[in-house]
Amino acid sequence: MNLLEYEAKHILKEFSIPVPEGVLIRGQQTPDVTLPAVVKSQVPIGGRGKAGGVALVSTQKELEVAIERISQLSIKGFIPKTLLVEEALAISRELYLALMIDRTSNQTLLVAHAEGGVDIESLDESGFFKRPLNPRALDAVAEELADYLELPNKAFVLADLVENLFKCFTKSDALLLEINPLVLTQQGKLVAGDGKMTLDASARFRHPEWSELETKEQSANFVTLDPHGTVATIANGAGLAMATVDAITSRGLTPANFLDIGGNATTEGIRESFNQLVEFNNLTNIVINIFGGIVRCDTVAAAIITARAELPSLPPLQIRLSGTNADEARKLLENEGLTLHDSLESCLEEIAS
């Protein structure tokens, strides 16, 4: 699960990691903030600065113009639902700092670079500072880090920062925590200018607070293909899911997603799938293409009917079920005014008509 910047910064703040003062806005309200300020698009993707999604403003008028512009700006297909408006930092230096899991050594790694703020792929690989983090020896790493960053007078501040980041990382069940840039302000403070966090979805059971996140958890088998796509897909089995996406594309339609629900063609699974699909704003149809081998078609049909009843705003469903108990499934669906298509072709025919 990738968090939005404001969600990541909220967690950082809870662990006493300095972040700028800011307010979150929805729609085009003008917030009451001290100027100069930065207006930042809250989209689940990096490179916002380059795409025009981060604006530094120094007057009320500029603030209004930036909010109007950025709230409508699409970045790699994403329109922000929220904007973060923060006090601007007076930047002296931009650094890069991250914690991540090293899957080779099975350790938490601290990674730093003296030149942050830029796309890290563009940085020279050998220039990175990398150390495994041992919770009993954090101070030593912080000392080395202060040397590496040429900030000897910040050794104590960095020691606190590394300790808090390590706590934040482990307590949050994070897989990645990246601060780029970590800003050294002209006042000599170290502040997280940006925040990116990836949480381990399999640790959800110990984090009831995650239900508050705007970030929707997407299962490993869910891929957004086009946020503006018009046809959403639900299929079982990766092969069938790919074939479904391909068939939609070759009809000249735009598939919004790939979704393989595997053996989870239950009411719960279908409901979860529908919940992920309502994120798409341009859907005209949802194609459900399920082969009833182990799961029975009538069970799947009943699951679709129950899940659909809970979400009245769903677009029309084009359902193709084939296999065990398909006839019973047809009867169930027909009672609800739904058609069971015999083939994917027939589903697409219906969409095109």
Binding residues for ligand GDP, rule: CB under 6 A, are 38, 40, 46-49, 54, 56, 88-89, 91, 94, 117, 180-181, 193-194
* Closer CB to ligand GDP, 19 or 261, in the complex: 19
Would you say 194 or 298 has its CB closer to Mn ion? 194
CA dist 36 → 70, 89, 95 (Å):
17, 9, 22
CB of 194 to Mn ion, least distance (A): 3
94 binds, among ligand GDP, Mn ion, none (CB under 5 to 8 A by kind): ligand GDP
Q: Which is nearer to ligand GDP, 194 or 272 (CB)?
A: 194
Provide the token pair at 142: 């912080």
String of DSSP letters for 118-147? S-GGGS-GGG-EEEE--TTSHHHHHHHHHH
The site partner of 48 among ligand GDP, Mn ion, none (C-beta below 5 to 8 Å per kind) is ligand GDP
Task: Tell me the residue nearest to Mn ion as measured from the CB.
Answer: 194
Give the whole-angstrom CA distance, residue 61 versus residue 83: 17
Instruction: Give the amino acid at 209.
Output: E
**Which residue, judged by CB position, is nearest to ligand GDP in the bound state?**
49
The helix (H) or strand (E) run that includes residue 272 is: helix 267-277
The strand pair at 317-323 and 285-292 is best described as parallel
Distance (Å, whole) CA 116 – CA 179: 9
> Which of Mn ion, ligand GDP, none does residue 56 bind to, with CB < 5 to 8 Å depending on kind?
ligand GDP
Q: Which residues bind Mn ion (CB under 5 A)?
A: 180, 194
Q: How far is the CB of 29 from ligand GDP (least distance, A)?
A: 21
Helices (H), 73-199: 138-148, 155-171
- Torsional class of 276: left (φ above 0), alpha (ψ -120 to 50), beta (otherwise): alpha
Q: Which of 94, 96, 163, 272 is catalytic?
A: 96
C-beta neighbour count of 242 within 10 angstroms: 14
Closest approach, Cβ 75 to Mn ion, in A, equals: 13
6 is catalytic: no
269 contact choice in Mn ion, ligand GDP, none (CB below 5 to 8 Å, kind-dependent): none
Q: Catalytic site residue 94? A: no
Catalytic residue among 86, 94, 163, 178: 178
Question: Considering CB distances under 5 to 8 angstroms, the limit depending on partner class, which of Mn ion, ligand GDP, none binds residue 99?
Answer: none
For 147, the token pair is: 């040397």
Catalytic residues: 96, 178
